[in-house]
Each structure stands twice: as C-alpha cells, then as structure tokens.
Amino acid sequence: MRPYLQRFTEAFRKGDLILLLLCVVATAFGCLMIASATNASYDGALHYLVRQIPAALLGILAYIVISSIDAEFFSEHRFWLVICNVGLLLLLIPFGQTISGNRSWLNFPFLPFNIQPAEICKILYILTMASVMTSRQNKLSSVPSVIIMVGHLALIFGTSFVISSDMGVSLIFIFIFIGMTWAGGVNFLWFAGAGAALAVFIPIVWNIMPDNYMKLRIAVLFDPSLDPLATGPLYHPVRAMRSLTGGGLTGQGLFQGHRTQTQGALFAQHTDYIFAAIGEELGFVGCALVLILLCAIVARCIWVGLHSQDMLRRLICFGAASALIFQTIVNVGMCLGVMPVIGLTLPFISYGGSSIITLYAMLGLVSGVYARPAPASHERYIRPPREHL
C-alpha cells in the first residue's frame, strides 16, 4: 500500500499545481453560480451542490492519479483506447437515456449523476490521435497518414452522432482533430483542400437535409425573420441574451437576477445558459473574469505543451486546449445568439458530474506532461513500432 501512496504524493508534488489551482478556482466559482442559478428551482440549490461538489472532489483525485501515469503507457495501448471508445458509445444503445432529443447519457441507479460517454471518449480520442501522429511524425502529411488520422476521426464522430444524434458533443472531436493536426504540423494544403471541399459540399448537404428543427436552429442565426416572434428556435437564445445584457456592467447582484431567480424564466440557467445567468447577476465584469480564468487554463495547457520537446506529450496538451476552446466558444456563442443551441456546457462552471470529473481527468494528462516533459532516458531511442491502427 505504501508504494502506491508514495506514488500518489509524488504525483501531487510534481504535477502542475498552478493548473490545478486555476481549475479549483473555476470550480469554486461555478459552484457559487450553480447555487445562485438553482436557488429558485423546485429542487433547491442544495440538490445540485451535493452532486457537484463530490464530483469535483472525485475530479481532483482523477487529476492527481492520471498525473502519475506516463503518457507512454497510454500510447502503447492505442488499440484498446479505440476499442474502449467505441464500446462506451455502444453502451448508449441498450442503456442510453434520451434528454432533449439526444441519446447521450447513461443512467445507472447506483450513481448520483448520469454519465455522458462522449466526455470520456474525448480524452481517449486525444490520446489516440497523439499516439497516431507521433508514430508517423516523419511523414505526417503523407496521404496514408492523413487517411489513418481521418479514419480515426470518422470512426469516433460517426459512431457518436449516429447513436446519440448529439451534434454538439460530436463536433468536439472534429475541433480536437483540427487543433491537434494544425499544432502537429500537417501541411497547410490539406487544410486548404478540406476548406474547399466543405465550401462545395455544405450547400449540397444543406439542400438535401430534411426541414427539421435542427436545420431551423442553424438557419435562424443568419435569418432571424424565420422566427420573428421568437417562439421557436430563437425562444431560449433571445431570453438568454436579455438576461446576459440585463446585468449591465456590474450585474443585478448574486441571488438577485430577475430571470435567473424566477423559476422557468431562463432555460437551463445552471447548465447550457449559466453564462447568461452570470451576465445578469454579475454583469460584464463577472463574464470577463470567467473568460479570463478559462483563458488562463487554456494558456497554461499550451504553455506546458510548448515546454515539452516530445511530440506525444505536446500533442496531448494541444488536444486538451482545443477541447476547452471549442466548448467555451460554443457555450458563450449560444448565449450571445451567434452559435446554434447544441447543448455544450461551460467548462468547470456549468453543473454536470461527469463533465467536471472528465475535465479534471483530461487536464491531469497535461499535469502529467508537466511532471514528465520528456520520456525517460532509457525510452528515448528504443520504442516499439506503433504504426498500426
């Protein structure tokens, strides 16, 4: 037992304590806002806090434990990472719970919160992509390498979207792919070609898409006249925008927001639209502080990656930063009415047990890179080939 305890304390001591501190501060602020946002709900703030706080503590534990594991261990088990990813998503078929039209959650009676498999899958996908790209780093822009990387993306994105129908969490994988391949040095011509292909195929796909609610959600962003009375897809975004701007510079006061403290006036004020609740109660100052804090977390991930000379470790940090950037931009964009409503939470701030645990776990990988920025000396020159998969 003692060797494991010693390894645990060593991981805590050598890990990135600055990154951990930033995450804890963001989580503490998030718990405060969750308490305020759910103060007027039928369940009451305590109902949410007794789930969020233990989940955050489990997340901190996951952060420290994963910090103690060398990135090479994950890389050498890439095959099982892929199998685990697909397996987690397949669990949604028999055990999935449908919420807001998306089959994205696993509801187990013995857990106090639901599990969103895609949250775990994005961590495993970052590790998989980092391993694939590292094993082919000398020919990263070659056609076979790009085909393999795109194949991994298509597998995880396709499986996630087909089973869950959740475009939001599925798009995270695409943004992680873009961030990691760009940071990894894939030739710009591939990005230019992909952009040209999208320019050609998006109008075609748009025309053949059925006229459903998802299509209307996107269309109203460019043409608000499609929902002039804001009774359809614009209903929640318009109310969120009013809350966000209703706080002015310093806000109406914590636990004092007009819509936030009125049951049902602001949809999902503790999850998807918590940034709007922050704007109403703490104003522009509160929103700016949240964004500065999240930017500091992202910047720390990038800083750790840039200070590692090992490609595998560097890519893991950039993958984590990419996931955080995408989730933050989409969530804030939803509240500003410039992004479609796709149900992504604000990292560390929104309510969500599985979300907070997996965020800490993902950043535990970054902390592990901070503790071991390069492979051990006996591993630097002799590594088994990993070009399969």
Query: How much is the pLDDT for 267?
Result: 85
Domain ranges of the chain: 9-373
The residue ranking higher by pLDDT, 180 or 115, is 180
Q: Give pLDDT tens digits for 60-116.
A: 999 999 998 888 888 888 888 999 989 988 888 888 777 766 778 887 776 666 788
Instruction: Return the bridge partners of 102, or none.
Output: 99
Buried (b) or exposed (e) across 336-345, using 16+ Cβ within 10 A?
A: bbebbbbbbb
Distance CA 246, CA 382 (A): 61
Q: Within a 10 A sphere around the Cβ of 112, how many other Cβ atoms? A: 11
CB 108 within 8 A of CB 115: yes
Q: Give pLDDT tens digits for 357-367.
A: 999 999 999 99
Q: What's the pTM value of the predicted model, to 2 decimals?
A: 0.91
Distance CA 184, CA 355 (A): 27
Q: Give pLDDT tens digits for 259-272.
A: 888 887 888 888 88
